[in-house]
Amino acid sequence: MKHIFQQGTRQEAPTLVLFHGTGGTERDLLPLAKQISPDSSIISVRGNVLENGMPRFFRRLAEGVFDEADLIFRTKELSEFLDEAAIENGFDRDNLVAVGYSNGANIAGSLLFHYKHAFKAAILHHPMVPLRGLTLPDLSGIPIFIGAGSNDPICTPQETEELQELLSGAGAAVEVHWERYGHQLTSTEVAAAAAWFQKQWKD
């Protein structure tokens, strides 16, 4: 998969795995990563699917309607890519923190839904429930930050609350940060995510 890897300055800091939104690239979230954890290594991935020329991480049938078979396939593909990238780039596969926005948050969520040790923690900006009717793995001890919009037309508050309940029900420690800027990823939301991250990994 097309990606960027940047070596961090602190070996023990979690490696941040970045997942862009629809139409984005592997460069979009690099400034966020530096704000969240300046010392961390970064691996930023470009989605393998194109929708009208726009990169995405999996296909959809319509706005908010996922192609579930493709989502499951792409989730497995991405999990295997991270396994290989860890060996190739020399980072700890068990010390990864996901940072995703919109479509990128959805694929990160799907990795959490499918694989017990996908991530050590996750920052999900405006995610939806990736799949329903799935028995989630044990996510005990995994902290998750969700950035949400109380007036988000794509990811409704009800969707956010359902995702929070599912992740919490699997044992994750979920914190939701609410804003009123629709589906936008704002500087205040990023600052809240950075503060949350620093609280998890304070020295």
* Catalytic positions, written as ranges: 102, 152, 183
* 125 alpha carbon, distance to own chain's centre: 7
Q: Rounded distance, CA 41 to CA 8, Å? A: 4
DSSP state of 120: S
Q: How far is CA 176 from CA 2, 120, 144, 183, in A?
A: 31, 18, 8, 15
Assign 159 to helix, strand or coil: helix
Q: Are strands 15-19 and 96-101 parallel, antiparallel or unpaired?
A: parallel
Structure tokens at 12: 């023990």
Ramachandran region, residue 62 (left: φ > 0; alpha: ψ -120 to 50; beta: rest) = beta
- Category of 131 on φ-ψ map: left (φ > 0), alpha (ψ -120 to 50) or beta: beta
Burial label, 68 (beta-carbon count in 10 A; 0-12, 13-18, 19+): middle
Alpha helices in 42-129 (DSSP H): 68-89, 103-114
